Amino acid sequence: MAQALYLDHNATTPLRPVAQRAIAEALAATGNPSSVHGFGRAQRRLVEDARETVAALAGASAESVVFTSGGTEANTLALLGAGCRRVLVSAVEHDSVLAAADGAVRIPVDGDGVVEVAALEALLAKAKPPVLVSVMLANNETGVIQPVAAVAETAHRFGALVHCDAVQGAGKLAFAMDDLGVDMLSLSAHKMGGPQGTGALIVRSGTEILPVVRGGGQERGLRAGTEAVALIAGFGAAAAEAKDSGPTWPEIETLRDRIEAHVVKTAPGARIFGRGAPRLANTSCLAMPGVANEVQVMAFDLAGIAVSAGAACSSGTVGPSHVLGAMGASESDARSAIRVSLGWTTRADDADRFAAAWTSLYERLAARARERTRAA
Ligand code: PMP
């Protein structure tokens, strides 16, 4: 049987060898980075070096980086730490933002999943300060890129604070925090070839937030607890390589487009979500008409190909994706959508293998679905 094919990079990326080496080296050493002796200072150096490379990836200053346990914690720190009673979030945010901003007002998106800046402006005009606005850089399910600079400019005109969940965009898009104009930005190491369990919130200097995890002075008092030095070292190494790997994304985009062209040719009823908007080069959210996404994911798995039904963290739960729902997708389209996400390990023949598997599943499963409809 052919080797298993991993096309679920938005759930997590394979660890880059440079990150694996950095983690192994750091794990072999002893020392608490807060200790003043030589052992501690050596660990501190690893954390501070990583802070520099992570900051460089986001076009931010090293002092503004607060290491966390990942994207979820970074989002939670931004939303809870800002202490704003009024919160506006896009309707397509990751669950970690929606859960931290319980009761937040949702900013609508258009049919391609792009935030409607005019609607944000109308909501801001009605909201009593202090207000926090949170809009992601790129969506995890569709790859759709949001007009974050326009969101920040609009929100700042009303005196609001702005947070951006850049977990999926970072390492796939070149951007600088200053150009986006946001006050806080979340990152996660394992979406860019780093390890799971570490991430960062970048907090622009002058932005006042309170810690959520308390009890130590680490990370400028914004995140208590001994730093996960080895994971942070792996994050730093992955961020440095991800920053330099920009030229591979146009190739990945060609492969993604080849898959989509094949799917649309094979099944004229197939739908590709967000296709009319700027998207990440690696992501495709595809609906195979009439076939439930869990059935597709299992069938691809049997064929040795890993894809997912929507967001990895919410797959397994009942109900169609809130992202596709907010884009106005019908329930049947949303329930038949899978996410294919390519990445730094994807090769040209992987795209062809996926396309061939899609056709063979479509011919088998869609025919079966049609028979069931006829019999019903
Ligand atoms: N935000 C987005 C857009 C994500 O895709 C994810 C990961 N699924 C997260 C936040 C959470 O990141 P982590 O897994 O590091 O907690």
Which atom of ligand 1 lies at the shortest distance from residue 10's CA? 5
Ligand 1 and 234: CB distance under 6 A: no
Mutation pick for ligand 1 pocket among 98, 142, 191, 313 (CB with most ligand atoms within 8 Å): 191
Residue reference for tokens 């809870």: 80
Question: Which residue is closest in CA terms to ligand 1's atom 13?
Answer: 71
Q: Do 277 and 174 share a domain, yes or no?
A: no
Q: From CA 163, how far away is CA 97, in angstroms rounded?
A: 10
Ligand 1 and 198: CB distance under 6 A: no
What residue type is 219 in one-letter code? E
Which atom of ligand 1 lies at the shortest distance from residue 311's CA? 8
Ligand 1 and 70: CB distance under 6 A: yes
Please give the residue range of the domain that contains residue 156: 17-243
Q: Do 9 and 27 share a domain, yes or no?
A: no
Q: Do 324 and 226 share a domain, yes or no?
A: no
227, 243, 259: which is the final residue of a domain?
A: 243
Query: Would you tell me how many other CB atoms lie within 10 Å of the CB of residue 292?
Result: 16
Query: Ligand 1 center to residue 186 CA distance, Å?
Result: 9
Which atom of ligand 1 lies at the shortest distance from residue 75's CA? 10
Residue-wise DSSP of 145-167: BP-HHHHHHHHHHTT-EEEEE-T
CATH number of the domain within which 230 lies = 3.40.640.10
φ and ψ at residue 145, rounded to 5 degrees: -95, 135
Mutation pick for ligand 1 pocket among 12, 79, 137, 140 (CB with most ligand atoms within 8 Å): 140
Q: pTM for this one?
A: 0.96
183, 208, 243: which is the final residue of a domain?
A: 243
Residue 257: the pLDDT is 97
Q: From CA 85, how far away is CA 96, in angstroms rounded?
A: 18
Question: Which residue is closest in CA terms to ligand 1's atom 8?
Answer: 11
Q: Do 347 and 313 share a domain, yes or no?
A: yes
CATH number of the domain within which 307 lies = 3.90.1150.10
Cα first-last separation, the chain: 37
Query: Ligand 1 center to residue 375 CA distance, Å?
Result: 42
Contact present, 275 and 112 (Cβ < 8 Å): yes
Query: How do 86-90 and 65-68 pair as beta strands?
Result: unpaired
The token pair that represents 62 in the structure block:
């090293």
Residue reference for tokens 């076939």: 291
Contact present, 338 and 357 (Cβ < 8 Å): no
196, 217, 243: which is the final residue of a domain?
A: 243
Residue 366: the pLDDT is 75
Q: From CA 94, how far away is CA 322, in angstroms rounded?
A: 10
Query: Would you tell me how many other CB atoms lie within 10 Å of the CB of residue 32?
Result: 14
Q: Do 138 and 171 share a domain, yes or no?
A: yes
Ligand 1 and 150: CB distance under 6 A: no
Query: Ligand 1 center to residue 99 CA distance, Å?
Result: 13
Residues 6+ apart with CB under 8 A from 8: 306, 307, 308, 312, 339, 341
What residue type is 368 in one-letter code? R
Q: Do 141 and 111 share a domain, yes or no?
A: yes
Q: Do 330 and 226 share a domain, yes or no?
A: no
Count of the separate structural domains present in the chain? 2
Q: Do 49 and 178 share a domain, yes or no?
A: yes
Question: Comparing C-alpha atoms, which of 210, 212, 217, 185 is closest to residue 200?
Answer: 185
Q: From CA 143, how far away is CA 283, in angstroms rounded?
A: 5
Q: Do 236 and 330 share a domain, yes or no?
A: no
Query: Would you tell me how many other CB atoms lie within 10 Å of the CB of residue 90?
Result: 28
Question: Which residue is closest in CA terms to ligand 1's atom 5?
Answer: 140
Q: What sections of the chain are H helices per DSSP?
A: 17-27, 38-57, 71-81, 95-100, 117-126, 148-157, 177-180, 229-244, 248-266, 293-302, 322-326, 331-335, 348-361, 367-375
Q: Do 96 and 228 share a domain, yes or no?
A: yes
Q: Do 46 and 134 share a domain, yes or no?
A: yes
Residue 313: the pLDDT is 47
Which atom of ligand 1 lies at the shortest distance from residue 188's CA? 15
Ligand 1 and 69: CB distance under 6 A: no
The token pair that represents 187 in the structure block:
């990152």
B/e letters for 257-283, b = 16+ CB within 10 Å, e = fewer, are: eebbebbeebbeebbbbbbebebbbbb
Residue 311: the pLDDT is 60
Ligand 1 and 154: CB distance under 6 A: no
Residue 375: the pLDDT is 76
Contact present, 215 and 86 (Cβ < 8 Å): no
What residue type is 32 in one-letter code? N
Q: From CA 140, how far away is CA 143, in angstroms rounded?
A: 6
Mutation pick for ligand 1 pocket among 145, 168, 280 (CB with most ligand atoms within 8 Å): 168
Active site residues per annotation? 313
Local mean pLDDT, 10-residue blocks, the chain (376 residues): 91 97 98 98 98 97 98 98 93 96 94 98 95 98 98 98 98 94 98 98 96 94 97 98 85 96 94 97 95 94 94 57 95 94 94 96 82 75
Contact present, 342 and 245 (Cβ < 8 Å): no
Q: From CA 123, how far away is CA 86, in angstroms rounded?
A: 11
The token pair that represents 266 in the structure block:
């094979």
Q: Do 95 and 155 share a domain, yes or no?
A: yes
